[in-house]
């Protein structure tokens, strides 16, 4: 039999061919016969001597674990997944400890209770690959090894992450059902329809795309029954509230509410169909094929009720959501001078907005079109141009929605909170996937930055730790040189990286998107992960791990500043409805509730100590969105790392009382402030290593010095 190879193909990506003549060193071409019997002379690049990829023997094709293949490269992986999907209808395949899932874009009958019970108690390799097998493995390791677990669901936009995370949670709810009558597992599952309604939307890639990230920790007691849960969210895509691209929708909840507008209890919302409102009609078609918004709304309401949100509170939530739609449809007229605007006192949308939020109409009408300028000696009231008024109006709408989102998350967490002692937990991370559209802006930039960080975690786990295991066991092994994407992450988040320069430009009084783009070209043109498009002076390209993405700089500064005028917020704080007033109080330091780090020096988190610590930004400056996002991402990575490093060693629950995340952060901050060397600390009671700040390098015990001022009596040098 002839040697078979894969060669690149413009249409099929890869196509199969066989050698008709043996290859000798130095040959400039290979003689290949393609599958359609045509003969092709395939040129070999003499410089790199790069020969085509070899094909696996037929007997291995269709294996349910990719690591069983003789050759593991891109065409082999894709071909194996394709054969399994098209010929055997299998959407799941293992790659060692990783489960690869293909989105079939239809409901499959493989997730029933009977399937859950079939996987319960089984070993990962004994059954067909399945999300339930991964969930069972996490559950078993938690119980058997007394270790907390995390499941990370990642993939590009539309790959099926949200559904996979839901199935994993349903598995835990079934096998770890609560022993008491609290039906806590039902509450954990009820958080999904609510979060999807307020945090998911239709994009061109996906009808139910998560536009925020979430990390849910499910807590278990000593007998491994669910006792509670806690959810943390990351960067909600606020701009969607006020703008949708063609063929996209706003958040589902707006359409659900419009679909239920004719119910008697919602008469006072004064809503009509979604096409009638500016904030829900910019993308064109307001319906999704196969989705009944009114039916979904019923599920959203049932979920609220199950979580103990009482009817009156639900109506308040829906009033706030309806008020945002009315705000978006307020008619603003520019005056002849072009520097000022007005709103008709008879504008019905503004009337509804003020009535639903319980705020004073004349005040709102005035402060939507004016702003206050405070200098050292006096205060001016200044008119605003039409564009400024529209920007301020949109910023207000986004702010109201974001505050409501955080309030709902907080209330879900209260409903899932338990006073019982948590013995262990399993975390499920479902975060937006890598995405690239016709026009990519600040949101895509943040989403792809988050995916860059997750990819690093993935590499770190799959390659680095596996290889260390092999070396420790002294198994003969050729080191795989895997792609480390730290340079790309540095381009984005390091000193004078893209985010730093964006924050700098935001502080400049006359800063513009163009100036910022120019600074990026000047500073980063030599970086292998940064490119300037030939035909543009305002766009820039970042070479991410998954793809090159061209970002348009227009709007980056505005979205990063996210300015909301204080006068408008003060009117809302004075609302006669307690819930509305609550949303806007304690907003001294506007970090979204869900991502608030601990006070003090905690914004100095960094996982790799090779980097200078992040400076806490000046309190007078409102923290920019980019800064908040970077901090919350570092928190997330730190959580995933701490789960993996510390909890791996300490089964005892006392650990959480002794070594909390806050404690670790304080120590990190202190060590960084003093510029101390790396510390390896040992808990003398349980003997597990804690490395501050986390940096996986080998340390000799002699080099350790624990400063007395840290008051770590219970941590001893061994």
> Using CA atoms, how far apart are residues 630 and 612, in angstroms rounded to an integer?
15
Distance CA(327)–CA(254), nearest Å, equals 13
Q: Are 292 and 281 in contact (CB under 8 A)?
A: no
Which position among 365, 435, 638, 656 bears the catalytic label?
435
Q: Catalytic site residue 157?
A: yes
673 is catalytic: no
Task: Confirm if 308 and 351 have CB atoms less than 8 A apart.
Answer: no
The two structure tokens encoding residue 311: 């009817």
206 is catalytic: yes
DSSP state of 118: H
Name the binding residues for ATP.
155-162
User: Three-class SS of residue 620?
Assistant: coil
Tokens of 631: 């901090």
Quote the Cα angle for 509-557-330, to 5°.
100
Which of these is catalytic: 93, 162, 316, 413?
Answer: 162
**For this structure, is 308 an active site residue?**
no
CB-CB contact of 353 with 364 (8 Å): yes
Is 150 assigned a catalytic role?
no
The active-site residue, picked from 219, 433, 497, 626, is: 433
Which of 455, 441, 484, 445 has its CA nearest to residue 546? Answer: 455
In angstroms, the CA 718 to CA 680 distance is 10
* Longest CA pairwise span in the chain (Å): 90
DSSP characters for 177-243?
Answer: --SSSS-HHHHHHHHHHHHHHHHEE--SS-TTEE-SEEEEEEEE-TT--EEEEEEEEE---GGGGT-
Residue 316 is a catalytic residue: no
- φ and ψ at 73, to 5 degrees? -140, 180
d(CA 219, CA 512): 47
Calpha distance 598→590 (Å, rounded): 14
What residue numbers does the annotated binding site cover? 155-162
The DSSP code for 163 is: H
Residue with tokens 């937990």: 425
CB 472 within 8 A of CB 596: no
Q: Phi/psi at 605 (nearest 5 deg)? A: -65, 130
> Which of 568, 600, 587, 33 lies closest to 330, judged by CA?
568
Complete edge-to-edge strand list for the sheet that includes strand 149-153: 149-153, 424-430, 213-220, 226-234
- Among the listed residues 218, 296, 312, the one whose alpha carbon sits nearest the alpha carbon of residue 251: 296
Distance CA 165, CA 196 (A): 12
Considering the candidates 192, 209, 239, 631, report the single residue annotated as catalytic.
Answer: 209
Taking the C-alpha atoms of residue 602 and residue 614, their distance in angstroms, rounded to an integer, is 9
The contacts of residue 335 (CB under 8 Å, 6+ apart) are 341, 342
- The catalytic residue among 154, 164, 210, 424 is 210
Whole-angstrom Cα distance, residue 168 to residue 432?
Answer: 17
Sign, Cα dihedral of 359, 362, 363, 369: positive
Q: Residue 140: CB partners within 8 Å, gap ≥ 6?
A: 121
Calculate helix-pair angle for 498-507, 625-645, nearest 10 degrees: 150
Q: Do the Cβ atoms of 564 and 553 come closer than 8 Å?
A: no
- Cα–Cα distances (Å) from 710 to 453, 666, 676, 700, 706, in that order, read 31, 10, 12, 21, 8
Q: Is 37 one of the annotated active-site residues of the chain?
A: no
Task: Give catalytic status of residue 435 as yes or no.
Answer: yes
Tell me the CA end-to-end span of the chain in Å, nearest whole number. 62
Sign of CA dihedral 206, 208, 212, 216: negative
CA distance 235 to 135: 26
Residues designated catalytic = 157-158, 162, 206, 209-210, 433, 435
């Amino acid at each position: 039999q002839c040697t078979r190879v894969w060669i690149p193909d413009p249409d099929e990506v890869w196509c199969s061919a066989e050698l008709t003549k043996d290859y000798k060193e130095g040959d400039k071409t290979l003689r290949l016969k393609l599958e359609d019997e045509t003969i092709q002379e395939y040129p070999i690049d003499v410089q790199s001597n790069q020969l085509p990829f070899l094909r696996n023997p037929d007997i291995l094709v269709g294996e349910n674990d990719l690591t069983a293949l003789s050759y593991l490269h891109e065409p082999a992986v894709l071909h194996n997944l394709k054969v399994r999907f098209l010929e055997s209808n299998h959407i799941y395949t293992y790659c060692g400890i990783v489960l690869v899932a293909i989105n079939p874009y239809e409901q499959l009958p493989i997730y029933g209770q009977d399937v859950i019970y079939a996987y319960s108690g089984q070993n990962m390799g004994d059954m067909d690959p399945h999300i339930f097998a991964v969930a069972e493995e996490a559950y078993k390791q938690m119980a058997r090894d007394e270790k907390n677990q995390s499941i990370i669901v990642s993939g590009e936009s539309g790959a099926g992450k949200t559904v996979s995370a839901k199935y994993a949670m349903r598995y835990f709810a079934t096998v770890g059902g609560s022993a008491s009558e609290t039906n806590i597992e039902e509450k954990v599952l009820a958080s999904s329809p609510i979060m999807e309604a307020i945090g998911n939307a239709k994009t061109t890639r996906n009808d139910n795309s998560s536009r925020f990230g979430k990390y849910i920790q499910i807590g278990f007691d000593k007998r491994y029954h669910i006792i509670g849960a806690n959810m943390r969210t990351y960067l909600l895509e606020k701009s969607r509230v006020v703008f949708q691209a063609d063929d996209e929708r706003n958040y589902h909840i707006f359409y659900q509410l419009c679909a239920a507008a004719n119910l008697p209890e919602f008469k006072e919302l004064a809503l009509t169909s979604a096409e009638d409102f500016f904030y829900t009609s910019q993308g064109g078609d307001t319906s999704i094929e196969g989705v009944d918004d009114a039916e979904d709304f019923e599920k959203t309401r049932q979920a609220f009720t199950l979580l103990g949100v009482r009817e009156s509170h639900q109506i308040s939530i829906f009033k706030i959501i309806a008020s945002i739609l009315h705000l978006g449809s307020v008619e603003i007229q520019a005056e002849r001078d072009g520097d000022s605007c007005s709103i008709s006192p008879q504008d019905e949308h503004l009337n509804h907005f003020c009535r639903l939020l319980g705020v004073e109409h004349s005040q709102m009408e005035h402060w939507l079109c004016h702003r206050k300028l405070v200098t050292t000696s006096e205060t001016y009231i200044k008119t605003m141009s039409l564009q400024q008024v529209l920007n301020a109006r949109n910023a207000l709408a986004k702010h109201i929605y974001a505050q409501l989102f955080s309030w709902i998350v907080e209330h879900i967490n209260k409903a899932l909170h338990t006073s019982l002692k948590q013995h262990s937990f399993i975390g499920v991370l479902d975060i937006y996937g890598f995405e690239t559209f016709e026009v990519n802006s600040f949101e895509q930039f943040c989403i792809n930055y988050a995916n860059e960080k997750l990819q690093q975690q993935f590499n770190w786990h799959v390659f680095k730790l596996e290889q260390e295991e092999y070396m420790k066991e002294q198994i003969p092994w050729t080191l795989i040189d895997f792609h480390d994407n730290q340079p790309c992450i540095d381009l984005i988040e390091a000193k004078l990286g893209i985010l730093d320069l964006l924050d700098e430009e935001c502080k400049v009084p006359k800063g513009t998107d163009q100036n910022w783009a120019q600074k990026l070209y000047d500073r980063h043109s030599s970086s292998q992960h940064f490119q300037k498009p030939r035909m543009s002076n305002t766009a820039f390209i970042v070479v991410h791990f998954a793809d090159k993405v061209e970002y348009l700089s227009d709007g980056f500064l505005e979205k990063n500043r996210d300015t909301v005028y204080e006068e408008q917020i003060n009117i809302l704080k004075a609302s006669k409805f307690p819930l509305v007033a609550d949303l806007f109080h304690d907003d001294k330091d506007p970090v979204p509730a869900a991502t608030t780090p601990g006070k003090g020096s905690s914004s100095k988190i960094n996982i790799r100590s090779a980097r200078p610590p992040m400076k806490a930004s000046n309190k007078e400056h409102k923290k920019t969105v980019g800064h908040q996002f970077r901090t919350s991402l570092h928190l997330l990575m730190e959580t995933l790392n701490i789960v993996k490093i510390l909890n791996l060693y300490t089964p005892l629950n006392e650990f959480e009382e002794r070594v909390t995340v806050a404690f670790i952060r304080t120590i990190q901050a202190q060590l960084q402030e003093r510029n101390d060397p790396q510390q390896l600390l040992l808990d003398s009671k349980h003997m597990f290593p804690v490395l501050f700040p986390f940096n996986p390098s080998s340390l000799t015990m002699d080099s350790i010095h624990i400063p007395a001022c840290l008051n770590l009596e219970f941590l001893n040098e061994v």
